[in-house]
Structure 1
Amino acid sequence: MGLAARARLSPGVEGEDYDLVHCNHFFLMPVARRLARDRAPILLDTHDLQARQFALINERMPWLRPRVSYEDMLAQEVEAMRGADLLLHLNALEAEEFRALLPQKRHALLYPPTPPAPTGPGGPDIVIVSSNNTANVESLIWFLREVVPRAPGVKVKIAGSVAEGVRARAGALYAAHRDWFLGRVEDPGAIYARARLALLPTVGGTGLSIKTVEAMSSGLPLIATPQALRGMDAEALSLPGVTVAESAEAFAAALIQAAAAPHPSDSTRASSAARAYYESRFSLAAYRTGLETLAEATLSAAF
């Protein structure tokens, strides 16, 4: 925030008269308030609770003592948000927390737009797409250790940089499944395009899972842990074609059953409940409609 407060803006930007300011992070609220001039309303994207994100980072670096406590960071974050007229929350769990922290403010849930994955042409693959972060690595290790031995004969393709993390954290486990790992891929969408089933064996992490949104957009049948659907509304837990497994045993049983099922057609994937859920909440069209509606309501209340 200090850098934003001292930022020099071009005369053309700072001299403009704005009706509405959309700020994409509380770090930039000093700039937003300068542009609003105590007249234009401010919409603020809250993202995840940033104080928590910094606290999690600090936990992974025990050799560096944080100079600021979680409570101090949270207080700074909340204070900056008081200057916004409407807080836009990007997932359902964080929306509840921010409403409790700032009950006097206006709040709205507006999921971020996520590019869709292809819904075909389909293929024989059972896939996991995942990047290399702590929660993803822990989740994949859990899947390989706890689920895979309970689903003999099933083979999975694992795409993404998560391979590097698994190799570093669980070398023997990585070596035992070396031929499953594709490593980094240029186009994750192509992985979904050639698949028949997507797996989301998530056991950690915070905020909305973008890889879950991408998998939903592909229209593939999904097997997911409840944690994979975090940040979404209750409907996500009961979508046809999405099997929610709360244990390794349940995940393995669902995997064996799904592996024996017929491959879904392009049309089945395009019209699936998961794809419809994605379109209604996470598509660019849904985001634009939601943002326009909220902006119009905020302008009407201000003027």
Structure 2
Amino acid sequence: MTADITVVIPARNAAATIEAALSSLLSDKPVIRQILAIDDGSDDRTAEVASESARRLGLPLDVVSIRLGSAGAARNLGIERASGTSIFFLDADDEVMPGSLSLLGSALAGQPRAGLAVGASIRRTKGRPDKLKTPYGYGPDRGQNTRRYLRNELWPIAMGSALVANRATAGIRFPETIGLDEDTCYWAALLARAEVVAIEAPVLLYHHNEERMARRFITAPRKTFLAIARELDSLEAAGVERDALQWRKAWIAQRIARQLIKHRMFADAAGMMRAVMAHKELGRSWKAAQYLARIRFGRLAGFGPAAGSAAPRRTLIVSFDPAYPPASGADLRTFGNAVAAAAIGPVRLASVRPAGSLQPSGLDIRVVSLTTEADKRSHSLGLRRIKGENRIPRPALVRLKALAREFRPDTIVVESIPLFKLLQPLRPLTRRLILDMHNVESDLAAQTPGNAPPAVSPEIRQLERRAAAIVDRIWVCSKLDRERLKAITAHETPVDIVPNGVPRAKRTSEPLPPSPGTSDGFPVILFAGHLGYHPNIDAAERLAGIILPLIRQALPAARLILAGRSPDPAVRILAKLDGVVLIENPDDMGPLLSAAHLCIVPLRIGGGTRIKILEAMASGVPVIATPLAAEGLDLAGGEDLLLSDADEGLADLAVALCSDPARMARLRARAHDTAWSRFGPQAIRDAVRHGLGLDEPSR
């Protein structure tokens, strides 16, 4: 065979696996004309690793670095750029069996009327034996092949197990808006057009990640199902039988329901089962009856672990500042975690500083103050405090111990390293003690210019190590913070990712709100946060003094709203600048977000993850930020938000976006969808539940 195959590899953050994928192609090098690695916005050196591996192996690789946002879009770009007479799609974390491309190419060449050749695949799942999936039952009737394929009467075609004739895929593309079943839609459209030749030899080693697949099902399940259903409906225009499409949609709903039941999301599962029951065949199946019974039982039993389990239910959360009503990012995180924990059992929300008289309504949460104004003159805990530790009056610990003995919490969650001196006294008062690290404080101290002498960061690091030895679990905001913390501590204390969630979710409209008007100027730029916090002060000064003037050169009506509690004197001075408005201690962020056209977050200091970004995205406000500001959120630059390191770059992005209404509308919609699907209430409930140890067997 001549070298006439184009290999298309969509890759996003695949630096750990792409070398193995490329190496597996080496035996088929003589039949490969080109390899297109579509690097879809990776930030882990995927492109560099791929290029170096291909150079070493002598493979004809072209890397296309572009931000697309989906594997379907990356494959479609590969189809457009393919120069070979046939195309082979390979995922960056899978491997081809030796000689597979040659085998598939020979099979395709031997059947001139065939549009694709399909081989067997080996599915490898962690903790399970490998499973061989052999294609069978394909005949010359294209309609029959398509119908049986959609009804699962034929083994699914794994990505990387089929070679497609370039002529056959003309006009056929992968759906770009879904991350589930997009390959099914593509293969079904192809089967409706072209004949298929099957071979029994294994051609692919497919690494199946069950956890990742489950996350795709349970994240915004209704939205996921409707998007897949729309793509399936579009296949009717390609001649696919409607009955087969209806069966597939009901089966997808049942498949999503199965994962929702597994994760005890019974209300969502019931919604999915309504789509299943509407199908006359699947709705009457034994499996449907079984799922409905499990949903009914789960809802009657209530959300939570089975009766008699030793999992924690009563949760005491200790913070320094009062977390209710929430005002700053720390408050929003702490209160959000309390709301999630209240779905499992009663919660006490205790603060070292005096709290107000307000209590949350409709939730099993009670706010408690550990000090009074008179306690400010009391002695504090410990002989000395390092810079970064909070002063804790001795009466606060007395009241906290009394509260713990009365409330008898299964779990105590302590807010971050500044409250380190509470950990050892609380250790004997609960079965599970958790440290919620809003930031990795030693890393944050090292970032902050002039924040402390060089000895401070090592002292904080020592506290973090000691804390890890005391507590049972640690919570962090992001994967990045987990990596930072594990590099610091030598203990095997479990570190759970409990992300910051959409703040004030109950008061925020989940449907995408309309775009704000321009009667009060355009654009209205919002920056919200604790305006007495050094990183926010620095950001506000650059926004008002540098970025806004640059934007106003092109958009003279631009205004900047600085909104937050406890403004520093340096921030108050900014309100005297032209186009800058300061709103101190806003009662409700909703009207400010509704009126904002942009949210610019130019942080160059900070840790954890920025709730202000999630709040803006969830309200449909496009976000422009520095990479540090978006650090840990795993957002797609150019798709979920726009990124630049420089003040001038942030201003240029703002002007360009405001000059392109279509792009602004796309950014609003994408950001809104990402915020609710990945950081909405259900995602936080699941994370807190796992962080409380409720998904683990009782010990």
TM-score category, normalised to shorter length: 0.7 to 0.9
Label 1:250 to 1:192 Cα distance change in 2 as closer, same or farther (>3 A).
same
1:35 equivalent in alignment to 2:429: yes
- 2:398 corresponds to: 7
Q: What letter is aligned with 2:440?
A: L
Alpha-carbon distance in 2 for matches of 1:161, 1:92: 28
Tell me by how many angstroms 1:275 deviates: 2.4
- 1:244 corresponds to: 643
Tell me by how many angstroms 1:8 deviates: 5.1
Q: Contact 1:89–1:107 at 8 Å: present in 2 too?
A: yes
Q: Considering Cα pairs closer than 8 Å and 6+ residues apart, tell me whether 1 or 2 has the greater RCO.
A: 1
1:259 equivalent in alignment to 2:647: no
1:282 to 664, 679, 685: 679
Listed as ranges, the matches of 1:64-79 within 5 Å are 69-79=456-466
SS at match of 2:599: strand
1:109 equivalent in alignment to 2:109: no
Label 1:120 to 1:160 Cα distance change in 2 as closer, same or farther (>3 A).
same
- 2:616 corresponds to: 215
Label 1:97 to 1:259 Cα distance change in 2 as closer, same or farther (>3 A).
same
Alpha-carbon distance in 2 for matches of 1:164, 1:249: 25
- 1:295 corresponds to: 692
Alpha-carbon distance in 2 for matches of 1:11, 1:221: 47
Tell me by how many angstroms 1:190 deviates: 1.1
Alpha-carbon distance in 2 for matches of 1:57, 1:252: 24
Listed as ranges, the matches of 1:84-163 within 5 Å are 84-103=471-490, 104-113=492-501, 114-116=503-505, 117-118=508-509, 119-121=512-514, 122-124=516-518, 125-130=523-528, 131-132=530-531, 133-151=533-551, 152-154=553-555, 155-161=558-564
Q: TM-score, normalised by structure 1?
A: 0.76
Q: What letter is aligned with 1:262?
A: P
Label 1:33 to 1:5 Cα distance change in 2 as closer, same or farther (>3 A).
farther
Q: TM-score, normalised by structure 2?
A: 0.36
Alpha-carbon distance in 1 for matches of 2:466, 2:545: 44
Label 1:5 to 1:190 Cα distance change in 2 as closer, same or farther (>3 A).
closer
Alpha-carbon distance in 2 for matches of 1:55, 1:225: 19
Q: What letter is aligned with 1:100?
A: A
Q: Contact 1:202–1:228 at 8 Å: present in 2 too?
A: yes
Alpha-carbon distance in 2 for matches of 1:82, 1:4: 26
Which moved further from structure 2: 206-215 or 274-283?
274-283
Alpha-carbon distance in 1 for matches of 2:667, 2:497: 29
Q: What letter is aligned with 2:427?
A: R
Alpha-carbon distance in 2 for matches of 1:203, 1:141: 12
Alpha-carbon distance in 2 for matches of 1:231, 1:31: 32
Greater C-alpha Rg: 2
Alpha-carbon distance in 2 for matches of 1:35, 1:147: 51
SS at match of 2:617: helix
- 1:47 corresponds to: 438
Listed as ranges, the matches of 1:196-207 within 5 Å are 196-207=597-608
Gaps of 5+ in 1: none
Q: What letter is aligned with 1:209?
A: R
| Number of residue pairs the alignment of both structures matches | 287
SS at match of 1:220: coil
Alpha-carbon distance in 1 for matches of 2:570, 2:401: 46
1:23 to 410, 413, 420: 413
Gaps of 5+ in 2: 1-380, 383-393
- 1:224 corresponds to: 625
Tell me by how many angstroms 1:69 deviates: 4.3
- 1:195 corresponds to: 596
1:181 equivalent in alignment to 2:599: no
Tell me by how many angstroms 1:75 deviates: 1.7
Alpha-carbon distance in 2 for matches of 1:298, 1:79: 27
Alpha-carbon distance in 2 for matches of 1:256, 1:163: 30
Label 1:106 to 1:221 Cα distance change in 2 as closer, same or farther (>3 A).
same
Q: What letter is aligned with 2:600?
A: L
Tell me by how many angstroms 1:14 deviates: 2.1
Tell me by how many angstroms 1:241 deviates: 4.6
Tell me by how many angstroms 1:21 deviates: 1.6
- CA offsets, 1:170-215, max 9 Å, x none? 95x75442x4314323322211112232222223333322212211
Alpha-carbon distance in 2 for matches of 1:195, 1:147: 16
Q: Contact 1:241–1:273 at 8 Å: present in 2 too?
A: yes
